[in-house]
Structures are given as structure tokens and as C-alpha cells.
Amino acid sequence: MAAAHFKYLILGGGVAAGYAAREFAKLALKPGELAIISKEAVAPYERPALSKAYLFPHAAARLPGFHVCVGSGGERLLPEWYSEKGIELILGTEIVKAELASKTLTSEAAATFTYDNLIIATGSTVIRLSDFGVQGADANNIFYLREIDDADKLVAAIQAKKNGKAVIVGGGYIGLELSAALKINDLDVTMVYPEPWCMPRLFTAGIAAFYEGYYANKGIKIIKGTVAVGFDSNANGDVTAVKLKDGRVLDADIVVVGVGGRPLTTLFKGQVDEEKGGIKFNLVVKLVVKTVTMLYSLGPDGFFRTSVPGVYAVGDVATFPLKLYNELRRVEHVDHSRKSAEQAAKAIKASEEGQTIEEYDYLPFFYSRAFDLSWQFYGDNVGDTVLFGDSDPSSPKPKFGSYWIKDGKVVGAFLEGGSPEENKTIAKIARLQPQAPELEQLKNEGLSFASNF
């Protein structure tokens, strides 16, 4: 069978693929030039919905309601949109071999695809307890949430195990959002995680204390400082209990595991440069002059080009130069997936036309919503911190925040319960990095400090 050839090929059918496709369509894309290859059977959708509204007991989100690009307030790209634009969706297709030198991808069914330009948007895969040989980790009703098929299976289990017991393994994004979702579904929920507090990669102890207290007030039990080391199951193979390292055994009808993910770069091992777990970009050392100080820094390739000509990488798999902090980073978040995909599409088209575009200048952004809570964070969570506002988990309308201060400057800002305008304010301050007053003064001024800029 002859290989199908495309001028532009996107490997991966997640958020990044949809946003890249929309950007290509804006840039005079011709019918037949672009294809998206996805292992999933549906057109690109906003993945964050799976851990939120998709699991609601009433008025739950369902496709086509959350196809991209509604997550950023844009037009919803239904499957027919791709047809109208002449973009081929190659769904339910897993690529098992990538030969970048010959610009060829091969599917599990032995179909081949060639390209002029490739965008790698393969995202991440979940880390499974079975990968570490945890006893009983393959029992039924132990769930991981990454794709819509995972969410459908979890929904079915929630409906089948009404008023049952759920154990959430992990205290990060998935742990917090899924604990809230299962509690809303009237399950008896217990969270288990080894760290001293939840979301340790971002939260301070003060921030975490609020969420742990709020969840406890909702009836969610929290067990910290231990891990799941095994699972019991019944004759049908359904999970019945979670065994913890500290010796406790928790009854369980449903288990959801959220212990992290890893970028899907296996297909490209040895073919592109990698660093910090992601695909690295082709960097050039430049001499930078800042006032009277001369220093060497990595000149950022803010266009998501890899070390292989014609190959770009975006989203979770990209280790890119973060211009704001002058260092290489890999960012796992939907906001970066959207924006890096758009940047790569712009860069490809600009290169063809001999034009230039602005380098990627990203401000790290993270957010979450659970119960009646909604927080946003911008910038960098390094240095000293101050907590301000009402962080009492028993407050009817809690509203609080935190600043991170490094080298005398505010470099990060977090806000729970903020209005859209207030969230824009903390984003602005994280970008500007103003000089910080004394910590006590900053604590007392709270949000009003950010409002001065």
C-alpha cells in the first residue's frame, strides 16, 4: 500500500492537535495539506473536562460539548469542521514506528504516512502501579484517568457502586479533583498520598492546609505519609481493599490512581535530542548584553523546532527554553499545550514564507476547580512565601492567596476565589516581577499590592 503523504502531519489527537489545526486553518491552509493521527477514536477535545464536569452526577459534560477550542473561549471544532477545512482526521490509529530520517510513520496496522513537517503532540501517559509490580494492581475497578474511554469506565463504575467506598491514590491534580467528583457522587472517599501535604509540587504547607481542611469538612478522609503497596480482590477480580505500607487496610469498591505521568517520547528515542524527560530544541549560545552586565545564556529557540529539521514538538513532550526565567523547562499543563501548538504552527508557516515571528515567551499558568473552589497560579513557585487573605476552610466564601519572592522580587502569585479581573492582576504581577516590600507588609497588603501595578 502506498504511503499517504501530507505537507503537515500532527502526531497525537489531544488538546495540542486541535489548537495547532485551528492555527493552520487561520494561515491559509489548503485542503489535503494537514492530517492529525490519533490513537483515540474521537476528534480533539478539552482533556481537563474529564476530571471535572464529565463526572458530575447531574448535567454532566459530554461530547460534542467540549471539543477544542472551547476551553479558551474559542469556537468548538466539531468533527465536521475538520472536513470543511480539508483536514484529515485519522482516528483510532496507533503509530508504532517513527523514522524521522525518512519522514515516515508506521501504524500498528502497517499503514505508512509521510510528511514534510511533523508536529509531535503525543502528550503524556499515566504512571501505573502495575509498572512497579504492586501486588493486585491489575484488579477490576482500579482506574487511571487520561482519555475519554477511561472516564466512561469510571462513570459506569460510579453508577454501579452507588454509596460505595472509593480510595484515591495520590494527592496531586487528579487526586484532588477526583476526590471532589466522587464525593459529589455520594461515595465514601479516602485520599492516600505519601507527601506531608497535598499538591507539594505547587502548594505551600499553608495553602495545602486550607484544601485539606476544606475536603475534611466535606467528609473526605485524608491519610498522609504512606503509600498503597497492594490490593485485594474478590472471586470476580473486583478490587475490595487497598493495603497501605503503614499496615492499614482500606475497604474499596473503586480505586482511582493519580501518581503522575510520563511524556510519550519512546518512538523518537535516539532520533532527537532529549533533556529533562522531554524533546529538546536546537539551541544556540548567544552573547546577551543587559545594561553593563555581559553573560552567556541559551538563546531560546522559541519556535518548538527539534534537532531534526522539519520536526517540531509541543505540549508535554517539549523541553523548551522558558524565556522569562532563562532556563530549560518542561511544562505539563493544558495552557502550555494550547499555546505551544499555536506557536509551532505559526513558526512552520512563517519559515515557509521567509518571515519571522516573536519567540515563545510563556508565563507558567496552572489552575484547578473542585467543589465550589477555583484557584489560579502564575509564575514561579520558588523562594520565600507569604500567605494572605481568608484561608479558613470553614469560611462561607474563602478568598486567599500567596506570593513567592526570590531575590527581592515577586516571581509567583496564587489566588483562590478570585474574580476574572483579580486573576488577571496576579498574572500581571508574575510577569512584571516587581520589587517586593518586607514580607509582613506584603502579607498585610495582600491582593491590593498586585492591584498597584
- What per-residue confidence (pLDDT) applies to 2? 73
Give the pLDDT band (50/70/90) at residue 293.
very low
- HSE-up of 36 (CA within 13 Å, CB side)? 30
Does the domain formed by 129-259 have CATH 3.50.50.60?
A: yes
Percent of the chain with pLDDT over 90: 88
**pLDDT, mean over the chain:** 92
Q: Distance between CA atoms of 46 and 49, rounded to whole angstroms?
A: 6
C-alpha cell of residue 435: 520589587
- What per-residue confidence (pLDDT) applies to 280? 58
Which residues make Cβ contacts (< 8 Å) with residue 75, sequence separation at least 6? 22, 69, 81
Tens-digit pLDDT profile for residues 149-160: 999 999 999 999
Q: Within a 10 A sphere around the Cβ of 36, how many other Cβ atoms?
A: 27
C-alpha cell of residue 252: 474499596
> Domain 372-451 has what CATH class?
alpha beta
Same fold, 4-125+262-352 and 129-259: yes
Q: Lowest-confidence range among 127-131, 165-169, 279-283?
A: 279-283
Pick the CATH number of 4-125+262-352 from 3.10.105.10, 3.30.930.10, 3.40.50.2300, 3.50.50.60: 3.50.50.60
Task: Flag whether pLDDT at 286 surpasses 60.
Answer: no
Helix (H) / strand (E) containing 211: helix 205-217
- What per-residue confidence (pLDDT) applies to 270? 81
- What per-residue confidence (pLDDT) applies to 276? 64
Percent of the chain with pLDDT over 70: 93
- What per-residue confidence (pLDDT) applies to 273? 67
Q: At what angle do helices 205-217 and 173-184 cross, to 10 degrees?
A: 20
Let me know if 350 is exposed, middle or buried by CB neighbors in 10 A (0-12, 13-18, 19+).
middle
- What per-residue confidence (pLDDT) applies to 287? 26
Q: Please check whether residue 380 is in contact with residue 325, taking contact to mean a CB–CB distance below 8 angstroms.
A: yes
- What per-residue confidence (pLDDT) applies to 277? 63
Q: Please check whether residue 143 is in contact with residue 157, taking contact to mean a CB–CB distance below 8 angstroms.
A: yes
- Comparing 297 with 355, the larger pLDDT belongs to 355
Phi-psi domain of 55 (left: phi exceeds 0; alpha: psi -120 through 50; beta: other): alpha
Task: Flag whether pLDDT at 366 surpasses 70.
Answer: yes
Task: Flag whether pLDDT at 205 surpasses 80.
Answer: yes
Backbone angles phi, psi at 224, to 5 degrees: -110, 160
Task: Flag whether pLDDT at 348 surpasses 70.
Answer: yes
Task: Flag whether pLDDT at 100 surpasses 50.
Answer: yes
Task: Flag whether pLDDT at 76 surpasses 70.
Answer: yes
Let me know if 293 is exposed, middle or buried by CB neighbors in 10 A (0-12, 13-18, 19+).
exposed
Q: Please check whether residue 164 is in contact with residue 34, taking contact to mean a CB–CB distance below 8 angstroms.
A: no
- Comparing 388 with 277, the larger pLDDT belongs to 388
Tens-digit pLDDT profile for residues 220-254: 999 999 999 999 999 999 999 999 999 999 999 99
Q: Name the residue ranges covered by the structural domains of the chain.
A: 4-125+262-352, 129-259, 372-451
Give the pLDDT band (50/70/90) at residue 302.
confident
- What per-residue confidence (pLDDT) applies to 235? 97
Residue range 283-303: average pLDDT? 36
Across 302-408, the runs of DSSP E, i.e. the strands, are 311-313, 318-322, 327-330, 365-370, 373-379, 384-390, 399-406
Q: Please check whether residue 323 is in contact with residue 302, taking contact to mean a CB–CB distance below 8 angstroms.
A: yes
